[in-house]
Amino acid sequence: MSRVTLLADVQLLQIIALEPYLIDRGDLLREAQYTYLRRVEEAPMEPRRPRKACDLCYTRRIKCDRQEPRCSNCVTYAVDCTHTAVSRKKKHKAQRDSGAEGTEDIQSLQAKVQRLETELAQLRGQAWVGNQAQKLRKTTTTAQVEDGRAEDPDHTRGLLTLPPLQQGMAMVGVFLNTLNSVLPLFHADTLLRLVGECYALHPRQRDPVIWAAINVVFALANQQVPKEIRDGVSSHQSDETTEYLNKAQSVISDIILGEARLINVQTLVGMVMVLQTAHNLKPSLILISATMRLVHQLGLHNHVASSHLDPVQRRQHTRVFWLAYILDKDLSLRAQQPSFQLDDDIDVELPSSWPMTTDDNDNTAGIVVTVDRTARMNYFLARVKLAKIEGHIYDCLYSTRALNQSLEERRTARENMTTAIYEWQASIPPEFGAAVVILNTRDKPEHKGFFFVLHSSSLQCMTLINRAHAWDGQWVSGLRDHSRGIQPLKLPPG
């Protein structure tokens, strides 16, 4: 074979040598193997012809006169005149003509080899990235175990386990009689049906979203039950709450990225309810953003999206929206960050306590009654109205647009917000005022926590409205006069 052919075969052998890395490129590998074998089999065998020149003349490339017994050159150099050296192969005309074609073949094979080397480098890079990712996962898992935040091993094995049925139903009862009675996240009958169906299934057959929703219910129930009195301070079952919350968060991708259903939004709202009590608001802020996106995807903020549902389902959609709205506005003001829901983009009715059907037993959700049954209050509706005020406070006093307003515009906005707070406080029945609510609801000790949140939120609003600012001329002049001893310091108008 010619030098061109041998060089091409070298390139083919390089391709074949990459076989372990070309599992997905079998077509190119087979082509290279076939080409190489065909060239070997079809290589022409040149016939050996007797040479006229002797070995000396042939080696030194000089003309041989072929004298016998020795040519003149052999006589001159005093060597034997022999004819045993191997002759050089002569390139045939056909091979010379195919030189250009061989060059093209080499260039084509070189391009293929270069392309394969590039793909091989990419495969090696991907393998390196995969190894690093695996190491990172191992490191993260180890850190979570050391920090006490390891993922639930049952879920890792695909088992969506639940506590014993008796224990689970007890926690569901606590949830329905405490938190859900004033902030109706679930329709009671619907929740009991979901719990029963989930317990009836094998752990591997359970719907991960429903399983997460039940764990969120367990976490919220544990928050409502005091664990014990230690050193005179009541501590809640934070360990159990965290355990159930971690289980629900282990399937967070199914909740957010799966099929959009009302149960998905209810689960996320429940998670935010658990997380909002922490000092670090970042987790709850992230979850409320995903929650509001699902709310908008389902159209819970518009009555048209639920107009085809029966009255009970339609009311539950409305309740879930307003719960998400409360959390959105409350977290927005606490974190001094914009909320997600625009008030101008809401077209649903406010929470109502009127029965939807003759056999409706869920119409009292959100209603709180005094111990003597002489006064009642729609706690849920009061929270919604306060959330609206919280949203207006941020928009009118702390948003970027508000910070660019004139001093007179900001003063007017502050006065309007103060008036709104006063009107809201006046709408609260006196039996449920901050001074007497614990006494008037002593038959429901769990309600004192809800009213504490209600009244402390209103005080927070008043504080944020009336706190001193450099742009408040009245406050600045009053502080200046007080520091100079001209007049006593005046308290804020709220």
What's the rounded mean pLDDT across residues 424-439? 90
Q: Are residues 270 and 390 in the same domain?
A: no
Q: Are residues 392 and 492 in the same domain?
A: yes
Structure tokens at 151: 């993922």
Quickly list DSSP for 141-208. HHHHHHTT-PPPHHHHTT------HHHHHHHHHHHHHTHHHHS--S-HHHHHHHHHHHHHS-GGGS-H
Q: Are residues 90 and 158 in the same domain?
A: no
The predicted structure's pLDDT at residue 169: 95
The predicted structure's pLDDT at residue 59: 85
Q: Phi-psi category of 158—alpha, beta or left, where left has phi over 0 and alpha has psi -120 to 50?
A: left
What's the rounded mean pLDDT across residues 112-116? 75
The predicted structure's pLDDT at residue 435: 86
Q: Are residues 109 and 180 in the same domain?
A: no
Sign of the CA dihedral running 359, 361, 364, 370: positive
Q: Are residues 329 and 370 in the same domain?
A: no
For 233, the 3-state DSSP assignment is strand
Residue 406 maps to a domain: yes
User: Which of 312, 335, 358 lies at the terminal end of a domain, its last residue?
Assistant: 335
Q: Are residues 176 and 286 in the same domain?
A: yes
Residue 489 maps to a domain: yes
Residue 7's domain spans which residues? 3-114
Q: Are residues 95 and 233 in the same domain?
A: no
Alpha-carbon gap, residue 386 to 395, rounded angstroms: 14
Residue 475 maps to a domain: yes
Q: Are residues 391 and 272 in the same domain?
A: no
Q: Are residues 94 and 159 in the same domain?
A: no
Give the H or E element holding residue 265: helix 262-275
Alpha-carbon gap, residue 334 to 461, rounded angstroms: 10
Residue 146 maps to a domain: no
Q: What is the pLDDT of residues 210-262, one digit of tens each?
A: 999 999 999 999 998 866 543 444 444 478 899 999 999 999 999 999 999 99
Q: Are residues 110 and 239 in the same domain?
A: no
Q: Are residues 85 and 156 in the same domain?
A: no
Residue 143 maps to a domain: no
72 by Cβ neighbours in 10 Å (0-12 / 13-18 / 19+) ranks as middle
Residue 91 maps to a domain: yes
Q: Are residues 388 and 327 in the same domain?
A: no
**pTM for this predicted structure:** 0.65
Give the total residue count for the chain: 494
Terminal Cα distance for the chain, rounded? 102
Residue 356 maps to a domain: no
Residue 127 maps to a domain: no
Structural domain count, the chain: 3
| Cross-strand pairs, 368 | 377
User: Which of 335, 355, 378 lies at the terminal end of a domain, its last residue?
Assistant: 335
